[in-house]
Amino acid sequence: MIRRKHSELSQRLLGARLSLLARDEASLKTDLRSASEWLSRYYDGSNKAVAAAQSTLKQLLQSDIGSPLPDISESLDAARNLKLVRERVLR
């Protein structure tokens, strides 16, 4: 029974990790909430490790992953320009 509980918790945390990588905030929050519920239901909340895990899950639930990806167009333009300058010098 304990292995099943641990396995379910591990699956929720793995799902949260995959959701984070996919930038799927809704699924991430769902999996984090489920993991938190599993910790509360099946683990001793007075245990320091469990309390630390709950605290971390709470922080993760409050974080926003929806920030836009950085724009690298200026860096690409600079690299292209440098390449053009080098090609002109070599001619």
23: left (phi over 0), alpha (psi -120 to 50) or beta: left
- pLDDT of 1 reads 58
- pLDDT of 2 reads 63
Q: Which residues contact 81 (CB under 8 A, 6 or more apart)?
A: none
CA dist 76 and 80 (Å) reads 6
- pLDDT of 77 reads 92
For the chain, the domain total comes to 1
- Structural domain boundaries enclosing 62: 2-90
- pLDDT of 12 reads 93
